[in-house]
């Protein structure tokens, strides 16, 4: 059965944009200066990661480069080589050092919930649904009743692969990314599947796959349904517990 996905909560890290002074001719003075210094003193900085994967830091370094800066990933050595002005390197180096922290564990609660839209029903109802999620669903979703089909808790470390069999035949897998400043994390290749019935009960049908960005101060919920007007949906809810972060220095 074809399903559509609605990501209810997500987050993105956006680097602040600098305020540029204007030249009399309408060209930013910083751009003029960058052009004049394009072949002048740029420095190389090589950072070898001890704890985290260099590839995970690459997108964040790219956002901090100047117009002439470059960054090269060396996976075999787990290093990034950055070539940029000293001013840019002054911004980038502290980010790399904060990023390369010792691995930490994050506690996550995973729930699979069946949601229904019932005419003239009371406000959100649920079977064993945590109170904070009742409020969360009531404010964001058009469904009126919720039933928990499966639930579990996991505490993976950064960079670890997670594969867990939940109740109801559901299975979840993902790789926990690097926790950024204790506020954000990516779940790489997040998959949810369900065992089929009939003759091949052990076979799994994949329901969803994507890399998710999650904030650690609120749940993230996915709604899988036939279409936006569907009377029911399968909810996948991830609730992080940042107070249980372990391994921080």
* Residue 35 backbone dihedrals phi, psi, to 5 degrees: -65, -40
Nearest to 56 by CA among 11, 96, 91: 96
User: CATH number for the domain including 71?
Assistant: 3.30.1370.120
Spatial distance between the Cα atoms of 24 and 153, rounded to a whole number of angstroms: 60
Tell me: pLDDT of 29 over 60.
Answer: no
| Pairing mode, strands 161-165 and 145-154 | unpaired
Question: What is the domain range of residue 125?
Answer: 4-12+103-246
Q: pTM value?
A: 0.69
Question: Are 130 and 82 part of one and the same domain?
Answer: no
Most confident listed range (120-124, 187-191, 226-230): 187-191
Q: What are the b/e assignments for 141-154, b being 16+ CB within 10 Å?
A: bebbbbebbbbeeb
Secondary structure, 3-state, 159-210: CCEEEEECHHHEEEEEEECCCECCCEEEEEEEEEEEECCCCCCCCEEEEEEE
**Does 27 reside within a domain?**
no
Helix axes 54-62, 86-99, angle to 10 degrees: 140
**Does 133 reside within a domain?**
yes
**Does 89 reside within a domain?**
yes
Question: Are 73 and 113 part of one and the same domain?
Answer: no
Nearest to 45 by CA among 18, 80, 11: 80
- Given this model, what pLDDT does residue 168 score? 87
Question: Are 83 and 196 part of one and the same domain?
Answer: no
Higher pLDDT, 48 or 134: 48
CA 136, 140, 146, 148 torsion-angle sign: negative
**Does 17 reside within a domain?**
no
Indicate the pLDDT class of residue 45, thresholds 50, 70 and 90: very high
**Does 25 reside within a domain?**
no
- Given this model, what pLDDT does residue 118 score? 74
Question: Are 95 and 121 part of one and the same domain?
Answer: no
Spatial distance between the Cα atoms of 78 and 62, rounded to a whole number of angstroms: 17
Indicate the pLDDT class of residue 34, thresholds 50, 70 and 90: low
Question: Are 152 and 200 part of one and the same domain?
Answer: yes
Q: What number is the average pLDDT over the span 14-38?
A: 47
**Does 203 reside within a domain?**
yes
- Given this model, what pLDDT does residue 25 score? 43
Spatial distance between the Cα atoms of 38 and 22, rounded to a whole number of angstroms: 19
Question: Are 73 and 172 part of one and the same domain?
Answer: no
**93: three-class secondary structure by DSSP:** helix
- Beta carbons within 10 angstroms of residue 159's beta carbon: 15
Nearest to 87 by CA among 13, 15, 14, 30: 30
Question: Are 144 and 215 part of one and the same domain?
Answer: yes
**Does 20 reside within a domain?**
no
Nearest to 108 by CA among 153, 57, 169: 153
Query: At which of 99, 121, 137 does a domain end?
Result: 99
Question: Are 206 and 109 part of one and the same domain?
Answer: yes
Indicate the pLDDT class of residue 30, thresholds 50, 70 and 90: low
Q: What number is the average pLDDT over the span 216-238?
A: 87
Query: At which of 99, 119, 153 does a domain end?
Result: 99
**Does 32 reside within a domain?**
no
Query: At which of 56, 83, 99 does a domain end?
Result: 99
Question: Are 157 and 136 part of one and the same domain?
Answer: yes
* Residues 6+ positions from 234 with CB-CB distance below 8 Å: 112, 113, 114, 115, 207, 223, 224, 225
Give per-residue pLDDT as tens, 131-153: 778 777 777 777 888 889 999 99
Question: Are 51 and 141 part of one and the same domain?
Answer: no
- Given this model, what pLDDT does residue 142 score? 78
Question: Are 111 and 216 part of one and the same domain?
Answer: yes
Question: Are 179 and 195 part of one and the same domain?
Answer: yes
Spatial distance between the Cα atoms of 69 and 229, rounded to a whole number of angstroms: 48
Q: Per the structure, how many domains does the chain have? A: 2
């Amino acid at each position: 059965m074809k399903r559509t996905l609605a990501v209810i909560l997500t987050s993105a890290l956006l680097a602040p944009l600098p305020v540029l002074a204007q030249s009399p001719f309408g060209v930013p003075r910083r751009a003029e200066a960058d052009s004049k210094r394009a072949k002048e003193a740029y420095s190389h900085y090589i950072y070898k990661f001890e704890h985290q994967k260099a590839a995970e830091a690459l997108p964040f370094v790219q956002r901090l480069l100047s117009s002439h800066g470059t960054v090269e990933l060396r996976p075999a050595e787990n290093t990034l080589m950055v070539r940029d002005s000293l001013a840019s390197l002054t911004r980038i180096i502290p980010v790399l050092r904060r990023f390369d922290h010792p691995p930490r564990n994050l506690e996550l609660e995973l729930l699979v919930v069946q949601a229904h839209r019932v005419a003239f029903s009371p406000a959100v109802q649920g079977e064993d649904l945590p109170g904070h999620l009742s409020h969360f669903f009531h404010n964001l979703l058009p469904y009126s009743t919720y039933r928990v089909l499966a639930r579990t808790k996991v505490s993976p470390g950064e960079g670890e692969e997670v594969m867990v069999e939940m109740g109801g035949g559901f299975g979840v897998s993902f790789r926990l990314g690097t926790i950024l400043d204790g506020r954000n994390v990516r779940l790489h290749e997040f998959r949810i599947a369900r065992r089929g019935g009939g003759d091949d009960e052990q076979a799994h049908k994949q329901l969803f796959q994507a890399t998710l960005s999650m904030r650690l101060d609120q749940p993230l919920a996915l709604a899988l349904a036939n279409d936006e007007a569907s009377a029911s949906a399968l909810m996948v809810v991830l609730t992080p517990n940042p107070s249980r972060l372990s391994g921080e220095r």
